A and B are shown apart, each in its own frame.
Chain A
Amino acid sequence: MSGETATGEGPTEALDRARSLLLRYRVPVGLVLVVLLLRPVISHPLLLGYEAVAATILIWMVFVAAFNLLFGYAGLLSFGHAMFLGFGMYAAAIGVSGRAGAPELPFPVAAAVGIAVAATVGYLLGRLTVEKGEIYFAFLTLAVAQAVEFTANRNPLNLTGGSNGVTQNVLPGFVESTRGQLVVVFTGLEIDWYWFVSAVFLVAMLALWQIVRSPFGRSLVAIRENGDLARAMGINTTRYKVQAFTISAAFSALAGSVLMIDRYGASQETLSVITSGDTVLMAVLGGVRYFFGPVAGVFVWQFTEEFLNEFEVLHLGFTSVDLSGVLTHWQFFLGALFVVLVVVAPLEGIWGYLRDWVRDLYVRVKGVAE
């Protein structure tokens, strides 16, 4: 980190200024670091050894961060967030493919339609449910998501393709698939799919960051901490919660539309309770109180899933243990880890522990140095 030394300033002042600047913009810097480091790290032969999953992880990070705007900041646990991901996914897939008489739309328009649908549903559902208490809210969103999944399964007007999903002609014109690799072709320029996703990731995450640190975001935290007090201070809690729900739904749909290209279509599994549950797990695993919590949670979850599916034999030097039989049931161990985490400290998550650990280390090193 190079401090720009202005004239007339001592080196320590410049260093301080650089440090405060870095502290102030640590989130954007962190996001750029995530984008730059994610692919090289996971494609390292000691870890996963292949890079295709990197773009998917970034998309999931956007989705879980959008979910966490609602849970971590506004304190509303939605157990049906998969439906918003699904709205983006299905709208993009149906629009681009133009199936069953649907108008054939360019990808950005189709994605915008999906985002608009998700935001509308989020708004209406929010009006109906946000004041019902958090347990009600969790199960109501779950039930509505279940109803959405049933509807998609029934294939209304032949639009959603039932249990097969939408998989035909779903790649928009500017994305080409060569040997299983996606490439974005933009006015003759070929861009790797990962960098395209990275751009979407950065824009979406920075927008979320701005929302979180705006007066609106601060008000959400106030509502979460003490709704009555927030109301007494003149915050319209219902309206803020509904707005948070709407924004969260819109960002989820954005992630869904990009995920559609990444997965070559919209699948019905995405709408299922399991996806919604995974979302909650990832956010809590990472730590819902922190902006980087979802990022950490998604990384750990997706990485564990891929890694443990590949992992078979544990070499201990003197002996080798075949773990493939045990590790196919990794969900059991993840569930156990999750239960322990929730019982010990439900809101800290991996990111919270990491922060504390780094802070302790910093204090100890500094203490030794002095």
Chain B
Amino acid sequence: MSTTELTREDLATVSPAWWAAGLLTVVLLAVTFAVEPGLFIDQAIGGLVYGMVLVLVTLGLSLILGLMGIVNFAHGAFFMLGAYISYSVVVTLGLPFWAALILAPLIVGVVGVVLEITVLRYLYDSDPIVSLLATFGLTMMIEEVIRAYWGTAPLEISRPSVLTRGTDLGVTTVPTYRLFLVGVAVITIAAVYLLISRTDFGLTIRAGVQDGEMTEFVGVNLPIRFTAMFFLGAALAGFAGVLYSAETGMRTTMGETFVILAFVVVVVGGIGSLFGSVVSGILIGVSAYLTPVVLSALAEVTNQPWLALQIRNLVPYLVMILILLYRPRGLFGEEGFLE
């Protein structure tokens, strides 16, 4: 879980092919901005929102993965559970949205802790594949609970009136909620980052990842820290679920979609790098939203209507395949982790 940062030397060793690819991207984006400035900004912010949600989900996943070697398939279910609990808090209990933003992550965190104590604790020493299978079973259970309690129909909650208005950005007006989401996500990500890199708690956690036995020798209670990290990871997923579903509504398929995407983000960013997850989450979110716009602008410029493909949902996987072909360990990954 180290942080890798770009330095001047790194930039000097970048191959010409990467420079060319970067230049092409900039040119394409500039053309698109010239053709459709309003749509461009609109989609860029949409992509940023999506990317931020992805980063929040991925943070929890890679914290748990890096720390305990547990591949938590149930992370998507935590995300979905957070969204549905916020529905109950807002609609059933009649509390304001702000209460849901605090209560839902706490409840999801507690669910995570219960599962950690009852099931996952017994799997720390076994193969990662076993934990993947066990959490897959847990996912089935959580999803069935959601279907049984909230039903399968899509649900929605109303946002507080402060956030439903639009904000004028010159070329276009974007919903204030999107800017709010990006702001909150940035603060959360920064807080988690500081917790891991600057506090004593974070220090002992990182020490535990490197050498658990030695860390326990010097008097660190590692199991309770593991449980705390599991709480944090699950709560982050629940938090992301509340933020995301307030904009798009709740669906019973959102869990599986996001756990797969979160892993795509981890692979692209590089397993073991928190910084890489943040970069690749934003990269994937923005590129998923901008690629269709770029393609339609290209179609307009070159007069080739077949170019305007609607491939938003495919972009994350295409990015992943490209990364695997040309940089298999991910953007900021360390070699040898989980291989």
Contacts and interface: CB of A to CB of B under 8 A. Distances in A.
Contact of B339 (A133, A273, A281, A335): A133
Query: How would you classify the secondary structure of chain A's contact residues: helix, strand, loop or mixed?
Result: helix
Contacts of B129: 77, 134-135, 138
B58 to A, nearest CB: 12
Contact of A132 (B127, B140, B328): B328
A273 to B, nearest CB: 5
B260 A135 contact: no
A136 B267 contact: yes
Contact of B133 (A136, A143, A284): A284
Given A146-B317, A346-B133, A128 B263 contact: no
A335 B140 contact: yes
A331 B339 contact: no
Interface string A332-366: 10111011001100100000000000000000000
B122 interface: yes
A106 interface: no
Interface in A61-84: 77
B71 interface: yes
A331 B144 contact: yes
Q: Which of A128, A284, A339 has the most CB of B within 10 A?
A: A339
B150 to A, nearest CB: 13
B144 A335 contact: yes
Contacts of A135: 71, 128-129, 132, 338
Interface string B130-166: 1011101111110111011000000000000000000
A185 to B, nearest CB: 41
B264 A143 contact: yes
Interface string A113-148: 000000000000000110011111011101110110
A334 B140 contact: yes
Given A133-B339, A138-B129, A343 B140 contact: no
How big is the B interface, by class?
35 or more
Nearest to A346: B130
Nearest to A330: B144
Q: Which of B71, B122, B144, B267 has the most CB of A within 10 A?
A: B144
Contact of A143 (B126, B140, B263, B339): B263
Given A135-B71, A139-B267, A343-B122, A338 B260 contact: no
A280 B140 contact: no
Contact of A329 (B136, B137, B144, B317): B144
B224 interface: no
B11 interface: no
B187 to A, nearest CB: 29
Query: How would you classify the secondary structure of chain B's contact residues: helix, strand, loop or mixed?
Result: helix
Contacts of A303: none
Given A339-B119, A342-B133, A134 B148 contact: no
B155 to A, nearest CB: 19
Contacts of B310: 154
Nearest to A153: B313
B324 A128 contact: yes
Interface string B301-339: 000000000110110111011001100100000000011
Contacts of A280: 133, 136
Contacts of A335: 137-141, 144
B42 interface: no
B137 A338 contact: yes
A136 B316 CA distance: 16
Contacts of A339: 119, 134, 137-138, 141
A273 B313 CA distance: 15
Contacts of A146: 260, 317
B247 interface: no
Contact of B317 (A132, A143, A332): A143
Contacts of A144: 317, 321
A144 B318 CA distance: 9
B256 interface: yes
A136 B320 CA distance: 12
B136 A277 contact: yes
A284 B143 CA distance: 20
A215 to B, nearest CB: 26
A132 B133 CA distance: 19
A329 B134 contact: no
Contacts of B136: 277, 280-281, 338
A57 B126 CA distance: 33
B260 A343 contact: no
Interface in A127-180: 128-129, 132-136, 138-140, 142-144, 146-147, 150-151, 154
Nearest to A76: B129
Nearest to A336: B141
A128 B127 CA distance: 23
Contact of B134 (A134, A143, A273, A343): A343
30 contacts: A77-B132, A132-B324, A132-B328, A135-B132, A135-B338, A136-B267, A136-B338, A136-B339, A139-B267, A143-B260, A143-B263, A143-B264, A144-B317, A144-B321, A146-B260, A150-B313, A150-B314, A273-B256, A329-B147, A329-B148, A331-B141, A332-B148, A335-B137, A335-B138, A335-B139, A336-B141, A339-B119, A343-B134, A346-B126, A346-B134
**Which 5 A/B pairs are nearest by Cβ-Cβ distance?**
A335-B140, A338-B137, A339-B137, A332-B144, A133-B339
Interface of A: 77, 128-129, 132-136, 138-140, 142-144, 146-147, 150-151, 154, 273-274, 277, 280-281, 284, 329, 331-332, 334-336, 338-339, 342-343, 346
Interface of B: 71, 119, 122-123, 126-130, 132-134, 136-141, 143-145, 147-148, 256, 260, 263-264, 267, 310-311, 313-314, 316-318, 320-321, 324-325, 328, 338-339
Given A132-B339, A143-B263, A339-B138, 10 more contacts: A134-B128, A135-B128, A138-B132, A143-B264, A280-B133, A284-B133, A329-B147, A331-B141, A332-B148, A338-B137
